[in-house]
């Protein structure tokens, strides 16, 4: 996976070194010699990840990080702070400034590449979701895109899979205030626990003789319940090839033994925050897609949904030789209601009307607001005589009890046209036309009635 990396450092030799290594791995590299230039480039170019030196004259790396993270246009770009080995305090400060990860100088190849790859992969998932979300132009999503990564509010739930009870115990104790931990000593138990309660992050120790840790990783990524759960590998020095293989399989991050508490904490925190952010986005996208087929006023499906489903329902009825009926309803003299009680009053009537239709049909019947004060109900497995009885029940239910509009009792009536599938040379449009013609007849013959074309 290629990506555009921005390297920020005031020492030209450091920039050159990172640039050479990243270019060799086919990353596109941009460079900046100070914080101001870095901010400018992030604003202008689509940067996928920033490697940021902490100590720089003018504006230091921490300030650059804070600014990038507080700007909605750049807050989603992952930032890796590059810190001197002897300055542990910089790491904490970096994470507090919103950095996603850190590397210590001198930067080791494996660490550099694995961190960059992992963050780029996370970002590309986020980008795809952001793109989908942005095209839907939902107000809720726009607001959400502007937000920073969410802070972790509750202790994240981490699952540790480690065959060795003593080392599992040590790791659990180390993370005791950082997360709520479940431990498993084998692959089957691990999968079982992960399916039982989806964790926010999984830690897998590579020291295993009873199972293959990498196979376990790909297994976890193949189940719907766990495929978005980040995985961090706990590896030994000298396992570079295995770690690389793990990254190819989609493992998100790794730490090496002996485990540094601060480092593991930071890595868990980063993975969990990214996951929360992506989970939110994914849910918002799903909600927006749902909103696109739901009528906002009545909560019924809208015409777009009807158009995409009626053909399927129709074909299913025809091929199975099952009856199918539809009714089109239209409120009588609705303009008069709007004129007397205002548009809001009219809306109240439409809402209550939708509620009453719903209450009079079955769950499998599809009720749609076709537009304005016209509604369509599709009734699978329903022949004409029954459909007319249902329509009559709806008509009666509307007439019998006046609607309440801002304290006024408003009498409402409805006209309904019914049509049923005829197994001859029928089509959806012919069926709709027959229902429409029946409705027209109901209107013309005095309203407040049900008409079905004679079979
Ligand atoms: P008919 O008995 O012949 O159906 O008479 P009608 O007045 O119901 O029919 P007409 O088609 O003349 O008027 C429909 C009205 O429905 C006009 C339009 O302003 C109103 N309308 C359409 N959509 C909405 C809506 O979402 N809310 C409200 N309040 N009114 C709507
Ligand atoms: Mg009308």
Domain annotation for the chain: domains and CATH numbers: 1-147 (3.40.50.2300), 149-287 (3.40.50.2300), 303-451 (3.30.70.270)
Of ligand 1's atoms, which has the minimum distance to the CA of residue 372?
23
Query: Quick one: what percent of the chain has pLDDT higher than 90?
Result: 59
373 as an active site residue: the answer is yes
Q: Are strands 28-32 and 4-8 parallel, antiparallel or unpaired?
A: parallel
Q: Whose CA is nearest to atom 21 of ligand 1?
A: 372
Distance 290 CA to ligand 1 centre (A): 26
387-428: per-residue pLDDT in tens? 999 999 999 999 999 999 999 999 999 999 999 998 877 899
Residue position matching structure tokens 């991050």: 253
Quick check: 141 pLDDT over 60?
no
Which pLDDT does position 252 carry in this prediction?
Answer: 87
**Residue 414: CB within 6 Å of ligand 1?**
no
Whether ligand 1 lies within 6 angstroms of the CB of 349 is answered as no
Ligand in nearest proximity to the CA of 448: 1
Q: What is the pLDDT of residue 114?
A: 83
Q: Determine the pLDDT at residue 247.
A: 82
Angle at 11 between CA 30 and CA 22, to 5 degrees: 35
Tokens representing residue 67 in the block: 């600014």
Q: Encoding tokens for residue 352?
A: 């209550």
pLDDT the model gives residue 139: 45
pLDDT the model gives residue 292: 77
Q: Which atom of ligand 1 is nearest to the CA of 331?
A: 8
* C-beta 443 within 6 A of ligand 1: yes
> Does the CB atom of residue 338 touch ligand 1 within 6 A?
yes
Distance 372 CA to ligand 2 centre (A): 8
Please indicate whether residue 212 or residue 266 has the higher confidence score (pLDDT).
Answer: 212
**Minimum-distance ligand 1 atom for the alpha carbon of 346:** 29
86 or 266, greater pLDDT: 266
Structure tokens at 160: 């540790």
- pLDDT interval class at 138 (50, 70, 90): very low
For the CA of 330, the nearest atom of ligand 1: 4
**C-alpha 332 to ligand 2 mean position (Å):** 5
Query: Could you give the CA distance from residue 60 to residue 45 in angstroms, rounded to a whole number?
Result: 21
Ligand nearest to the CA of residue 370, numbered in listed order: 1
Position with higher pLDDT, 189 vs 227: 189
Tell whether ligand 1 has an atom less than 6 A from the beta carbon of residue 331: yes
Q: Whose CA is nearest to atom 11 of ligand 1?
A: 335
Residues sharing a CB contact under 8 Å with residue 290, sequence separation 6 or more, in sequence order:
none
pLDDT band at 440 (very low <50, low <70, confident <90, very high): very high
Of 327, 310, 326, 350, nearest to 442 (Cα)?
Answer: 327
pLDDT in the model for residue 353: 97
Ligand with smallest separation from the Cα of 442: 1
Catalytic residue among 210, 352, 373, 399: 373
Atom of ligand 1 nearest to the CA of 332: 2
Residue nearest to atom 15 of ligand 1 (CA): 335
Gap from CA of 373 to ligand 1 centroid (Å): 6
For ligand 1, whether the C-beta of 350 sits within 6 Å is yes
Look up the pTM and report it. 0.56
Q: Is the CB of 180 under 6 A from ligand 1?
A: no
Q: Render pLDDT for 206-246 as a digit per residue (tens, 0 to 9).
A: 999 999 999 999 889 888 888 889 999 999 989 988 988 88
Alpha carbon of 414 to ligand 2 centroid (Å): 8
Burial class (CB in 10 A: 0-12, 13-18, 19+), 198: middle
CA-nearest residue, atom 25 of ligand 1: 372
Which residue's C-alpha comes closest to atom 22 of ligand 1?
Answer: 372
Query: How far does residue 356's CA lie from ligand 2's centre (Å)?
Result: 17
The residue whose CA is least distant from atom 12 of ligand 1 is 335
332 lines ligand 1 (CB under 6 A): yes
| Ligand 1 atom closest to residue 344's alpha carbon, by position in its atom list | 29
Average pLDDT on 27-35 reads 94
pLDDT at residue 430 greater than cutoff 80: yes
Looking up tokens 């030789």 gives 321
**Mean pLDDT of the 176-187 span:** 93
Mean pLDDT (the chain) is 89
Does residue 103 surpass a pLDDT of 90?
Answer: no
Could you report the per-residue pLDDT of 335-358, keeping only the tens digit for each? 999 999 999 999 999 999 999 999
């Amino acid at each position: 996976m290629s990506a555009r990396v921005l390297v920020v450092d005031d020492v030209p030799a450091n920039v050159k070194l990172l640039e050479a290594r990243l270019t060799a791995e086919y990353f596109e590299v941009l460079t900046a010699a100070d914080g101001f230039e870095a901010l400018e480039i992030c604003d202008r170019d689509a940067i996928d990840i920033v490697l940021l030196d902490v100590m720089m004259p003018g504006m230091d790396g921490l300030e650059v990080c804070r600014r990038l993270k507080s700007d909605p246009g750049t807050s989603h770009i992952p930032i890796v702070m590059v810190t001197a080995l002897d300055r542990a305090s910089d790491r904490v400060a970096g994470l507090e400034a919103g950095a996603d990860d850190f590397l210590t100088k001198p930067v080791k190849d494996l660490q550099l590449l694995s961190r960059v790859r992992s963050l780029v992969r996370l970002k590309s998932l986020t980008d795809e979701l952001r793109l989908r979300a942005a095209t839907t132009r939902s107000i809720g999503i726009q607001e959400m895109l502007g937000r920073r990564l969410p802070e972790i509010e509750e202790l994240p739930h981490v699952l540790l899979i480690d065959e060795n009870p003593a080392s599992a115990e040590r790791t659990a104790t180390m993370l005791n205030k950082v997360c709520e931990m479940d431990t498993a000593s084998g692959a089957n138990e691990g999968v079982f626990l992960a399916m039982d309660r989806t964790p926010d992050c999984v830690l897998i120790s590579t020291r295993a003789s009873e199972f293959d840790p990498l196979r376990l990783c790909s297994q976890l990524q193949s189940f719907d319940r766990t495929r978005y759960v980040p995985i961090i590998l706990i590896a030994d020095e000298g396992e570079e090839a295995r770690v690389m293989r793990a990254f190819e399989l989609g493992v998100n991050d790794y730490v090496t033994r002996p485990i540094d508490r601060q480092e593991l904490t930071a890595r868990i925190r980063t993975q969990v925050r990214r996951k929360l952010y992506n989970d939110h986005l994914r849910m918002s996208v799903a909600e927006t897609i749902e909103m696109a087929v739901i009528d906002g006023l009545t909560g019924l499906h809208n015409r777009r949904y009807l158009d995409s489903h009626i053909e399927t329902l129709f074909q299913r009825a025809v091929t199975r030789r099952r009856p199918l009926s539809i009714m089109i309803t239209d409120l009588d003299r609705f303009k008069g209601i709007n004129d007397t009680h205002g548009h809001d009053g009219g809306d109240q009537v439409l809402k209550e009307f939708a509620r009453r239709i719903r209450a009079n049909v079955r769950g499998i019947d599809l009720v749609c607001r076709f537009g304005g004060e016209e509604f369509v109900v599709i009734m699978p497995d329903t022949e004409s005589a029954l459909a007319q009885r249902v329509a009559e029940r709806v008509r009666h239910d509307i007439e019998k009890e006046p609607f309440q509009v801002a304290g006024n009792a408003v009498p409402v009536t409805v006209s309904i046209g019914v049509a049923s599938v005829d197994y001859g040379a029928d089509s959806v449009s012919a069926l709709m036309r027959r229902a429409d013609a029946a409705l027209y007849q109901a209107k013309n013959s005095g309203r407040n009635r049900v008409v079905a074309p004679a079979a």
